[in-house]
Amino acid sequence: MQKRISTIPFTDTPEQHEKLLAVIESLKNEKGAVMAALHKAQDIYGYLPIEVQKEIARGLDVSLEEVYGVSTFYSQFSLTPKGKYNISICLGTACYVKGADKVLDRLVAKLGIQPEECTPDGVFSLTACRCIGACGLAPVLTVNEDVYGRLVPEDVDKILAKYTA
Amino acid sequence: MDMVNIKINGMSYEVAAGSTILEAAREAGIDIPTLCFLKDVNQIGACRMCMVEVKGAKSLVAACVYPVNEGMEVFTNTPKVQKSRKMTLELLLSVHDRKCLSCKRSGTCELQKLCNDMGIDSENRYEGAVPAGKKDYSTLYLERDNAKCILCRRCVAACQQQHVAVIGANNRGFDTEIGCAFEMPLSEVACVSCGQCIVACPTGALTEKDNTQQVIDAINDPEKVVVVQTAPAVRAALGEEFGMPIGTNVEGKMVAALRRLGFDKVYDTDFGADMTIMEEANEFIDRVKNGGKLPIITSCSPGWVKFCEHYFPSLTENLSTCKSPQQMTGALIKTWFAEREGIDPNNIVSVSVMPCVAKKFEINRDDEDAAGVPDVDISITTRELARMIKMAQLNFARLPEEDFDPVMGVSTGAATIFGATGGVLEAALRTAADVLEGVDHDNIEYKEIRGTKGFKEAVYKVAGMDVKVAVVSGLNNANELLKKIESGEADYHIVEVMCCPGGCVNGGGQPIQPSTVRSFTDIKALRAKALYDEDAAKTLRKSHLNPVVKECYEWMGGEPGCHKAHELLHTSYVKRDRF
């Protein structure tokens, strides 16, 4: 799936920025530095917005496109921030045949965001994931550490309400 | 040279050790089809078009990257190989828009040729999902249509070779697409507009922005006086579009064609190049005398200028403030020519034919409007001129040889060699040596700075001063040199930079030669030779001896560098971001 790009304004703390610069400094002149820098930057910020990727490109003296190309190739990199509550819906085989796509449609409609996006208020983010090993509960979704199973689309409203209350 | 013995299709050959199967087979008279391969630019074995059988190998191997070894037996024409080639092509076609009839690259498309050669009998063997194929029409100079892209990455490699690298493969698998970081349009990244990606592209995915209709409309407008100028490198390559050998100088036929297309005046950018030399030599002498910024760096190449602005903003003060020959010629068309002919500059349409797509960007820069209107209104490439000639159904080979119109059609050999790397500097040295020493030198060939090497340097004694010069072409070479200049490690007086490897003869607007030709022929050397031959055959070979140049300065009321020359023929630069 094509990576989604964040439209939410980037916020950076001096501590985070300092950490990022230190990471870049430690990787200068190393082979494969882009990959390592992206990993560590994602640890610091939770995702890899353009501001962070530019800093990496400038620091490692590579083109921004090279950094972006790597960040969109590997699935572990995210270009969108996670919300306070990250909703992860399983689209693995069992969940899918049990109607996970309908649940996802409902989530998209209610939240107004696509998978790999975050709501503008930063409360919810949505991830479509692969099998999480809870096929007996299919279709299943998690909100941070909470698991919800045997879902029908209507359940979505109740679940969201719990976290917006 | 170490040799090894191999067999190709059962026949024995002795071939150079270290060569690839592709190269060895080529020596034996057997072409192996390729798509992603572009020698010295892109050798990644990605497209799988060149698969051949090697005895003992488990599977087919990619001939473009697989080295030969002693006793190797290669088969290039087995049913297995043919089946693989066909399937590769059919799979490419399954995600291709297949609109060949309306494609600008029809006839020069490498994918189309291979489908023909391999006898592809169904262009939709594999039906199914087709990626949308993004289109990027954001810039003034080129267009990308990913519906025609085969992901060979030749454009990406060409861009990297220019040290620009603003395009690359984004996303993964079926979603893979060539584009810019964060899916930005090309107009918003630090693309220098050189167009080397276009001439690297095997298909119609990358093309110049076509401005031919604007030119045709202007010609058909009875109110407008349409004046055209052609850059030196165009005459050295245009013939290729009409089946002539690489390196044929078609100046006379080109002029005849332009006249028959309906241009009111056919002028030579070479005249502007002579003016550039006068102004630039003067600027150099002035900087030496008055402690100005050195080295002075040439500013004829708009791709290079944009590169400098994005990547070395600290060196923009080193750039000569001289406009490029295109802009000087344009400025003088809208001022001098307008005044002589009594035409309102607003009624003149100034058209340029260039080997370059960056020129389309340059005409829209600030401070390129001597008469308060753009110096050049429309810039078209060599390829677009060929398109106009074909559209008008002119039989190019049978056209007579004609001369440029007076007065801006008069030029010198010094200007002609502007089209090749080292030419601008040589032209400048010819004039500087004569003017400063007050002698009409006979020895005017500066051989050390000729040739297609990416980096050249020399020291010349001019008027008692040791002048240290450097010549680079291709932006990777420019980048290396500029880093040294920036750090103070290099202390040249004059530096010539051309954006494209080999200079304008190899520009992004020139006729496109397929990888099969580009990989094994030094195109830039052949085209450059056409220009050096023309220079050698000319009686006038020094810019300051051009009588029209003298006339022009009389009109401006002074010498090179005079007030009016500054007003009309100089420009300014900006600092741009890299990211």
What does the block give as tokens for B553? 């300065």
User: Chain centroid to CA A102: how far?
Assistant: 21
Confidence category of residue A2, pLDDT binned at 50, 70, 90: confident
Kindly determine whether residue A69 and residue B168, on different chains, have CB atoms separated by under 8 Å: yes
A106 to chain B, minimum CA–CA distance in Å? 25
Rounded to whole angstroms, the Cα distance separating A46 from A84 reads 12
Kindly determine whether residue A64 and residue B189, on different chains, have CB atoms separated by under 8 Å: yes
Chain B residues within 8 A of A2 when measuring between CB atoms = 171, 175
* Backbone Cα Rg of chain B: 25
The reply to whether A21 touches chain B by the CB within 8 Å rule is no
* Contact call for residues B187 and B166 (beta carbons, < 8 A): no
Rounded to whole angstroms, the Cα distance separating B278 from B560 reads 6
Chain A residues within 8 A of B170 when measuring between CB atoms = 68-69, 72
Computed over every residue of chain A, the mean pLDDT equals 94
What does the block give as tokens for A95? 């969940």
* Contact call for residues A163 and A85 (beta carbons, < 8 A): yes
Rounded to whole angstroms, the Cα distance separating B28 from B25 reads 5
> Comparing C-alpha atoms, which of B49, B64, B42 is closest to residue B168?
B42
The reply to whether A8 touches chain B by the CB within 8 Å rule is no
Rounded to whole angstroms, the Cα distance separating B225 from B343 reads 8
Chain B residues within 8 A of A8 when measuring between CB atoms = none
pLDDT for A4 equals 86
Sheet holding A141-143, edge to edge: A117-118, A124-129, A85-90, A141-143, A146-148
Chain B residues within 8 A of A53 when measuring between CB atoms = 181-182
pLDDT for A26 equals 97
Backbone angles phi, psi at A69, to 5 degrees: -60, -45
* Contact call for residues B283 and B457 (beta carbons, < 8 A): no
Q: All domains of chain B, ordered by start, with CATH?
A: 3-77 (3.10.20.740), 126-207 (3.30.70.20), 213-569 (3.40.50.1780)
For residue A106, is pLDDT > 90?
Answer: yes
The alpha helices in B382-474, defined as continuous H runs, are: 382-391, 413-416, 423-437
Give the closest of B166, B171, B189 to A3, CB-based.
Answer: B171
Kindly determine whether residue A68 and residue B182, on different chains, have CB atoms separated by under 8 Å: yes
> Comparing C-alpha atoms, which of B537, B268, B523, B538 is closest to residue B407?
B268
User: Chain centroid to CA A17: how far?
Assistant: 20
From residue B297, how far is each of A106, B287, B478 by CA, in Å? 62, 12, 11
Q: Which residue has the tokens 């690359």?
A: B168
Tell me the HSE value of B307 on the side-chain side, using a 13 A CA sphere: 30
Judge if the upstream peptide bond of residue B79 is cis by omega within 30 degrees of 0.
no
Could you report the average pLDDT of every consecutive run of 10 residues in chain B (579 residues)? 95 96 96 96 96 97 97 98 97 96 96 97 91 95 98 98 98 95 97 98 98 98 98 98 98 98 98 98 94 97 98 97 98 98 98 98 97 98 98 98 96 97 97 94 95 96 95 98 96 97 98 96 97 97 97 97 97 96
Nearest CA in chain B to A59: B579
Kindly determine whether residue A63 and residue B170, on different chains, have CB atoms separated by under 8 Å: no
Chain A residues within 8 A of B175 when measuring between CB atoms = 1-2
Burial class (CB in 10 A: 0-12, 13-18, 19+), B249: buried
The alpha helices in B75-191, defined as continuous H runs, are: 79-94, 110-117, 154-161
* Contact call for residues B145 and B132 (beta carbons, < 8 A): no
> Comparing C-alpha atoms, which of A130, A67, A66 is closest to residue A96?
A130
Judge if the upstream peptide bond of residue B407 is cis by omega within 30 degrees of 0.
yes
The reply to whether B171 touches chain A by the CB within 8 Å rule is yes
From residue A6, how far is each of A3, A79, B182 by CA, in Å? 10, 6, 10
Q: Which residue has the tokens 């939770």?
A: A46
Give the angle B283-B288-B292 at the CA atoms, nearest 5°. 75
DSSP B122-143: -TTSS-S------EE--SSSEE
Feature table: binding site of A for [2Fe-2S] cluster: 90, 95, 131, 135
Collapsing DSSP to helix, strand or coil, B365 comes out as: coil
Chain A residues within 8 A of B164 when measuring between CB atoms = 63
Judge if the upstream peptide bond of residue B374 is cis by omega within 30 degrees of 0.
no
Q: What is the DSSP letter of B241?
A: G
Could you give the angle at which helices B325-332 and B269-290 cross, rounded to 10 degrees? 110
Q: What is the DSSP letter of B238?
A: G
β B225-230/B348-354 pair status: parallel
Backbone angles phi, psi at B208, to 5 degrees: -70, 155
In chain A, positions 58-77, which contact chain B (CB-CB < 8 Å)?
58, 62-69, 72-75
pLDDT for A3 equals 86
Burial class (CB in 10 A: 0-12, 13-18, 19+), B24: buried
* Contact call for residues B498 and B423 (beta carbons, < 8 A): no
Q: Which residue has the tokens 């791709």?
A: B303
* Contact call for residues B420 and B273 (beta carbons, < 8 A): no
* Contact call for residues B326 and B354 (beta carbons, < 8 A): yes
For residues A124-161, b (16+ Cβ closer than 10 Å) or e, as one string?
A: bbbbbeeebebbebbbbbbbeeeebbebebebbeebbe
Kindly determine whether residue B181 and residue A73, on different chains, have CB atoms separated by under 8 Å: no
The reply to whether A91 touches chain B by the CB within 8 Å rule is no
Kindly determine whether residue A68 and residue B172, on different chains, have CB atoms separated by under 8 Å: no
Sheet holding B142-145, edge to edge: B135-136, B142-145, B206-208
Interface test with A, best of B170, B176, B178, B192 (most A CBs within 10 A): B170
Rounded to whole angstroms, the Cα distance separating A130 from A140 reads 11
Nearest CA in chain A to B170: A69
Kindly determine whether residue A65 and residue B181, on different chains, have CB atoms separated by under 8 Å: yes
Collapsing DSSP to helix, strand or coil, B266 comes out as: strand
Interface test with B, best of A72, A75, A116 (most B CBs within 10 A): A72
The reply to whether B169 touches chain A by the CB within 8 Å rule is yes
Kindly determine whether residue A1 and residue B180, on different chains, have CB atoms separated by under 8 Å: no
CB–CB contacts below 8 A, A to B: 51
Rounded to whole angstroms, the Cα distance separating B239 from B234 reads 9
Kindly determine whether residue B579 and residue A69, on different chains, have CB atoms separated by under 8 Å: no
Number of residues that this document lists for chain B: 579
Burial class (CB in 10 A: 0-12, 13-18, 19+), B500: buried
Confidence category of residue A130, pLDDT binned at 50, 70, 90: confident
Confidence category of residue A116, pLDDT binned at 50, 70, 90: confident
Chain B residues within 8 A of A68 when measuring between CB atoms = 168, 170, 181-182
Rounded to whole angstroms, the Cα distance separating A73 from B176 reads 9
β A146-148/B3-8 pair status: unpaired
Kindly determine whether residue A50 and residue B182, on different chains, have CB atoms separated by under 8 Å: yes
Kindly determine whether residue A2 and residue B175, on different chains, have CB atoms separated by under 8 Å: yes
For residue A1, is pLDDT > 80?
Answer: no
Give the closest of A58, A72, A73 to B579, CB-based.
Answer: A58
- H helix or E strand, kind and range, residue A26: helix A14-27
From residue A40, how far is each of A26, A37, A60, B10, B349 by CA, in Å? 11, 5, 14, 55, 56
pLDDT for B144 equals 98
